[in-house]
Amino acid sequence: MQKDSRDFLLELLRTPSPSGYEFNIQKKWLKYTEKYADRTETDIGGNAIAVLNPKAKFKVLLAGHCDEIGFIVTRIDGDGFVYFSPVGGISHKVAPGLRVEILGEKEIVTGVIGVNAEHHGGLKDKFEFDDLFIDCGFRNKKQAEKFISTGDYAVYSSEITELKNGLISSKALDDKSGSFIVAEVIKRLKGQPLNVGVYSVSTTSEETGLQGAYFASTGIEPDLAIACDVTWATDYPTVNRSKYGDYTIEGGPVLAVGSPVSVKINKMLKAAAKELKIGIQTEVTPRITGTDADRIRFTNKGVPVALVSLPIRYMHSPVETASMKQIENVIKLLVGFIKNMTGKENLKPLE
């Protein structure tokens, strides 16, 4: 991976973007992709869109969401301690003792999620978000309200860590890795002969309802869509592989199979993977995928969809972990898939 591409991925991971507060990351995404796209644009849902070959009749939508799980301030008590609720599927169990950043109107305020000392009884075995609070060092509510307000968002404050064997650990790989990948596909396809229009979209609010994907697809009216997201790697202790499947962090991109997913698109993806000598893993999604693909496929007259996922460990935690090699493989797979398209593909399953 080129240095500027890697730097862009790290910049996305460092930029706070909880669902509903994606403005700053989208501006960075547009600045990066405008160097490679034929045009860039935004829409009413806050999506950032980069387009190649816009005159092509056949349109391919690639969706990777840029929003991350986080918190929202619900109240400030008289002593200046901050209480909060989750934004997205974030677990309260990993929160105690961690640093957070509150995205105040004037500045980002650092705080810690307080933990009762073991000498004072410790944290009770059963607790909820209502039992937790953030300590920013304020002396009282009046002082706190000079910096933050009810309704402000917050995210974990964590360092990006490089592990052995090309693994990377960070918050928000779900799904800033996907937002990065669809941008990188535009970069890699620039100047290539294309038979289809490519619409890469950094979508918003996937973690809280998939609404960004809906706005993107209704506006673009694609003929085919691929959601680029993450899925659960199960190759670490405590995971019941008999129940949750056997997916390894270095085993290759993961294709979803099941009723929401187009068999024909998957066949094309598998052909591209074979051509490129990229290993493929398969996950079963019999009813829904739990990704942008679910909302996209019900737009307009219906859109055939596929889901290509990056396997990660420790999902929805501050230490999500992925393989840089597999990020690269997802990019190569999507680039190869698009380069192979004729623009005359018939995706009706009975024809």
Specify whether the backbone of 60 is left (phi greater than 0), alpha (psi in -120 to 50) or beta: beta
Q: How confident is the model at residue 98 (pLDDT cuts 50, 70, 90)?
A: very high
Report the C-alpha gap between 33 and 50 in whole angstroms.
6
Q: How confident is the model at residue 118 (pLDDT cuts 50, 70, 90)?
A: confident
Q: What pairs with residue 201 in β-bridges?
A: 49, 63
3-state SS assignment for residue 106: coil
CA 234 to chain CA centroid, Å, is: 19
How many helices (H) and strands (E) would you count in the chain? 9, 17
* pLDDT at residue number 2: 92
Residue indicated by tokens 């995205």: 103
* pLDDT at residue number 126: 84
Contact assessment for residue 102 and residue 111, using Cβ atoms and an 8 Å cutoff: yes
Strand order in the sheet with 161-162: 161-162, 167-170, 320-323
* pLDDT at residue number 103: 97
* Residue spans of beta strands (DSSP E) within the chain: 39-42, 48-52, 59-65, 70-76, 82-87, 99-103, 108-113, 134-135, 153-156, 161-162, 167-170, 197-203, 224-232, 254-257, 281-284, 305-312, 320-323
Mean pLDDT score of the chain: 96
Q: What is the pLDDT of residues 255-306, one digit of tens each?
A: 999 999 999 999 999 999 999 999 999 999 999 999 999 999 999 999 999 9
Q: Is 345 a catalytic residue?
A: no
Q: What are phi and psi of 84, to 5 degrees?
A: -155, 165
Marked catalytic residue, from 22, 68, 184, 206: 206
* pLDDT at residue number 124: 80
* pLDDT at residue number 1: 87
Q: What is the mean pLDDT of residues 189-194?
A: 96
Residue indicated by tokens 């677990």: 91
Q: What is the pLDDT of residues 301-350, one digit of tens each?
A: 999 999 999 999 999 999 999 999 999 999 999 999 999 999 999 999 99
Q: What is the mean pLDDT of residues 66-73?
A: 97
DSSP state of 231: E
Percent of the chain with pLDDT over 70: 100
Percent of the chain with pLDDT over 90: 93
pLDDT of 123 higher than 90: no
Per-residue CA distances from 331 to 64, 100, 127 (Å): 12, 31, 41
Q: What are phi and psi of 31, to 5 degrees?
A: -60, -40
* pLDDT at residue number 140: 98
* pLDDT at residue number 280: 97
DSSP state of 314: S
* pLDDT at residue number 6: 97
Q: What is the mean pLDDT of residues 51-71?
A: 98
Question: Which tops the pLDDT comparison, 121 or 126?
Answer: 126
Q: What is the mean pLDDT of residues 124-142?
A: 92
- Residue 142, class by beta-carbon neighbours within 10 Å (0-12 exposed, 13-18 middle, 19+ buried)? exposed
Domains defined along the chain, listed by start: 3-68+171-339 (3.40.630.10), 70-156 (2.40.30.40)
Q: What pairs with residue 203 in β-bridges?
A: 65
DSSP string, 153-166: EEEE----EE-GGG
Q: How confident is the model at residue 209 (pLDDT cuts 50, 70, 90)?
A: very high
pLDDT of 12 higher than 80: yes
